[in-house]
Amino acid sequence: MGHTNWLNDEEMQAWIAFISAATLVDRELDQQLKEDMGLSHLQYTILMTLNRAESGALRMTELAERLINSKSGLTYQIGQMEKAGLVTRRQCEWSKSGVLAEITDEGRATLERAAPGHVEAVREIFIDVLSPEERKAMADGLGRVRDRIAERKQGGTCW
C-alpha cells in the first residue's frame, strides 16, 4: 500500500475525455429531446426499450435493470409517463405481484415522432465524429467496461 498510483498523461486524457464526453452528450440529448418533444432522455429510452420488447411490455424490475435505474426511480418515471398517456400498467399474468409496463399507441406515436430528431442528434454529436476504428474501440473496450461492472454487481462476493 504505497502512495497513490496516479494516472499518467496518456491515461488521464482517456479518462477525462470519457467522463466529460459522457456528461456533455447526455446533457445535449436531454435538451434536444426536451425541446423537440418534451421528453427526457430517460423517458425516450424507456419508450424505446418497451417498444422493442415483444408485446411492448416489460416487468418493472427487468426494465429497471436494463436502464440501470433504481427501482423507486423507475416507479416514479412510469407514474409520470402513465399520466402523460405514454404507457400503462398491467398485472403480470403468471404472477400477482408482478407489474408490466406497456407502451400505449400514443407512446408509439410519440416515439415515432421523436426518433428522427434523436437519431440525427446522436449521429451528429457522437457517431459521425468518430472513425470506424474508434467506434470499434468504443464497442469493444467500453462493452468490456460495462460487462465487468455489471458482473461484479451480481457476483456479490466481491472481495
- Gap between the Cα atoms of 145 and 21, Å rounded: 16
77, interface contact from a copy of itself, DNA, none, CB < 5-8 Å by kind? DNA
Position 61 contacts DNA (CB under 7 A): yes
Position 155 contacts a copy of itself (CB under 8 A): no
Contacts of 118 (CB under 8 A, 6+ apart): 29, 32, 33, 36, 44
Q: Binding mask 119-138 vs a copy of itself (x if CB under 8 A, - otherwise)?
A: xx-xx-xxx-xxxxxxxxxx
Window 51 to 110, contacts with a copy of itself (CB under 8 A): 68
90, interface contact from a copy of itself, DNA, none, CB < 5-8 Å by kind? none
Q: Taking the complex as a whole, how short is the minimal distance between the CB of residue 45 and DNA, in angstroms?
A: 11
Neighbour tally for 33: CB within 10 Å:
21
Closest C-alpha among 158, 133, 154, 143 to residue 65: 154
Q: How many helices (DSSP H) and strands (DSSP E) are in the chain?
A: 7, 3
Chain residues binding a copy of itself by CB under 8 A are 1, 3-7, 10-11, 13-15, 17-28, 68, 115-116, 119-120, 122-123, 125-127, 129-146, 148-150
